[in-house]
Amino acid sequence: MEKVAPHAHLTVVSRFESIELVLAVVDDLLKQAELNGETRHWVGLAVREAIANAVKHGSREEEERIRVEATVEDGEVIVRVRDKGPGFDPDELSDPLAPENLLRPSGRGIFYMRKLMDDVEFRFDDDRGTEVVLRKQISSEEDFARTEEDTG
């Protein structure tokens, strides 16, 4: 019988309130893949940042939709967040660790994503909009839940 990998694909309205719903779905998915609470927390945080950016920077109109796609397959978590915005130049990002930026109230989201995940890729397309692809290998022992409780 056909194998079903943990998978979720959904559209949500582009507003901060949608973050918790997406996080609940992604967390359930990571539980299906038997990842432990620690790993789920950090992946979840990276996803929060990606959605927050799509909401903040990725709308051309009010209340557009954001697409989220998440899978765990072949030992890798992949989360894609796509918005309808104009995109940006990733080479122009300022370094949040530079002394002049250290006390700025913003500009840390992508930096966190990169630290929390193995790979963060941005794709821009006039028709499809902006997509961020977050990847994390979970082959290593430390990501898996050891006990039932740990997945709870």
Binding site for its own copies (CB under 8 A): 1-2, 4-13, 18, 21, 24-25, 28-29, 31-32, 65, 67, 84, 126-129
The yes or no reply on residue 45 touching another protein (CB under 8 A) is yes
Taking the complex as a whole, the smallest distance from the CB of residue 20 to ligand ADP amounts, in Å, to 19
Residues 6+ apart with CB under 8 A from 80: 67, 68, 69, 70, 131, 132, 133, 134
The item of another protein, ligand ADP, its own copies, none sharing an interface with residue 87, based on CB under 5 to 8 Å by kind, is ligand ADP
The yes or no reply on residue 83 touching ligand ADP (CB under 6 A) is yes
The item of ligand ADP, its own copies, another protein, none sharing an interface with residue 103, based on CB under 5 to 8 Å by kind, is another protein
Taking the complex as a whole, the smallest distance from the CB of residue 84 to its own copies amounts, in Å, to 6
- Helices within the chain (DSSP H only): 18-32, 37-57, 109-116, 148-151
Question: Which one, 6 or 87, has the nearer CB to ligand ADP?
Answer: 87
Which residue type does 117 have?
M
The yes or no reply on residue 115 touching another protein (CB under 8 A) is yes
Q: Other C-beta atoms within 10 Å of 66: how many? A: 26
The yes or no reply on residue 44 touching ligand ADP (CB under 6 A) is no
The alpha carbons of the chain give a radius of gyration, in whole angstroms, of 16
| Cα of 42 vs its chain's centroid, Å | 10
Question: Which one, 71 or 101, has the nearer CB to ligand ADP?
Answer: 101
The yes or no reply on residue 109 touching another protein (CB under 8 A) is yes
Environment class of 91 (CB within 10 Å of its CB; exposed 0-12, middle 13-18, buried 19+): exposed
Please give the Cα distance from 132 to 49 (Å, whole number).
11
Site for ligand ADP in 50-79 (CB under 6 A): 53-54, 56-58
